[in-house]
Structure 1
């Protein structure tokens, strides 16, 4: 992308869409530098593209949507988004894990942040279909004798580096786990939890069926987003952990639907959760 202050609005937006198709996401700060325009101009362009259904706005930038370019956003692209919220959510989710239990971890960058908090909890067995999580826990196992035992399901990898398909589903279907911690592409009262990947939706359903308790970790930008395929309804969830960016009105609707809503960086709800 070449900076040119003389670009017209439609030219800027075409360049933004080109960058999203190439990289999966863009940041406002980078676009300001690359396009040679103001922060406000970039944000107006992203607003226009979001209204037309070409992109999904997130904190600090935008990501591409499946159906526009046909590409699912990859793990590495997602890992740079909503970092502070993911860390707060991960801290809260780790409080649900008890020593000696069997925990299943789904894919995604927020669940990966949770995994980093589990390495010092003794006696854990972790089942996962996430390649980055398995790699993280295996590398930590070399350093610490308390690191969890890891079972990787097998299957075919997605752009998010999650293993899905018949092999993954068969392995998962034979297991029983105490707690499942799952991420999601989108969540809403109407559609529940959704993903743009049909095979991933089916594997997520297998994970839910094998778990005694289900916890979903999702930052506030996931609320109101609907992917192609639903894999769970909100009433099936024992815990939903998000961050304080979720508006109060949306929290009320979510709290009524799930077993427990935890707002990780909200002092009141975090204190209540920590005392359980």
Structure 2
């Protein structure tokens, strides 16, 4: 049973996730899962149908345009936070070992970079540049020897700040290393996102860094968002988990200087 205090928007994001994973959902099943009435679920499905994210059918809803949605639709931060939690924590722990005291780092938006931020709260004399509201919140209190720079910009469903204000801020900076979270990874498209404005902002963040470390769990392999942030060869390090399949490992080993596979507990 899900938390009954979920906001309507959060519940709708979770319903949409179920539709994409299962292909179809029933009103009665969703009502039981979320602890709400059938009428509440029907209203949620109406909202999703008006946004052309699902097709309403008798007693439930089905997916529409699945392939297209995979490249252009972006789940919210709440939904993504619940995915591959053990893998993300393992990746964050491995990535944190790459951060030395006294360095200037960039952290993109994303749930894996937010997990990394939590691992870095005790690193001395750290300068953190981010376009992520969630990452900035992690560092809101704490060490007096830490500097946190939040870019500003337009807010996206993934809690990223994007657009010309963010890009302009990033283009004035020089960072030792940038940690980039991504929506998808493929051999042909590289590291991608479903949000065009976030892609432009992430590219500016990548260009500001001397080194690029991509942090992404193994389920991101084979998914292509609509916009490419960087090609595989642009990453100095990819930190992922041991669930990565052998074929993907072979491709990535040939493109990236260092591939780190973190073992989830």
1:35 Cα offset (Å): 6.5
**2:66 match:** 54
Residue by residue over 1:71-96, the C-alpha shift from the partner in whole angstroms, topping out at 9 and shown as x without a partner, is: 52111110011000000000000011
Note if contact 1:188-1:223 (Cα within 8 Å) is conserved in structure 2: yes
Return the alpha-carbon distance in structure 2 between the equivalents of residues 138 and 163 of structure 1. 17
Higher RCO by CA contacts (8 Å cutoff, separation 6 or greater): 2
**2:232 match:** 234
Note if contact 1:24-1:74 (Cα within 8 Å) is conserved in structure 2: no
Residue by residue over 1:234-254, the C-alpha shift from the partner in whole angstroms, topping out at 9 and shown as x without a partner, is: 000000010011112211111
**1:257 match:** 255
Return the alpha-carbon distance in structure 1 between the equivalents of residues 219 and 264 of structure 2. 16
**2:96 match:** 94
1:135 Cα offset (Å): 1.0
Aligned residues, how many? 222
**1:130 match:** 132
Residue by residue over 1:212-232, the C-alpha shift from the partner in whole angstroms, topping out at 9 and shown as x without a partner, is: 000000001100100111110
Residue by residue over 1:172-228, the C-alpha shift from the partner in whole angstroms, topping out at 9 and shown as x without a partner, is: 000000010010000011000111111111111101111000000000110010011
Note if contact 2:14-2:79 (Cα within 8 Å) is conserved in structure 1: no
RMSD between aligned residues: 2.8
Return the alpha-carbon distance in structure 1 between the equivalents of residues 197 and 262 of structure 2. 30
Q: 1:65 aligns with which of 62, 70, 84?
A: 70
1:54 Cα offset (Å): 2.2
**1:13 match:** none
**1:34 match:** 29
1:265 Cα offset (Å): 1.1
Find out whether 1:193 has 2:185 as its counterpart.
no
- Residues 1:252 and 1:127: Cα distance change in structure 2 (over 3 Å): same
- Residues 1:266 and 1:72: Cα distance change in structure 2 (over 3 Å): closer
SS of 2:244's partner is coil
Instruction: Write out aligned runs for 1:159-178 (5 A).
Output: 159-178=157-176
TM-score under structure 1 length normalisation: 0.73
The runs of 4+ residues in structure 1 deviating greater than 3 Å are 19-24, 64-67
Gaps of 5+ in 2: 1-10, 32-61
Find out whether 1:183 has 2:152 as its counterpart.
no
Note if contact 1:185-1:225 (Cα within 8 Å) is conserved in structure 2: yes
TM-score under structure 2 length normalisation: 0.76
SS of 2:18's partner is strand
Return the alpha-carbon distance in structure 2 between the equivalents of residues 128 and 106 of structure 1. 6
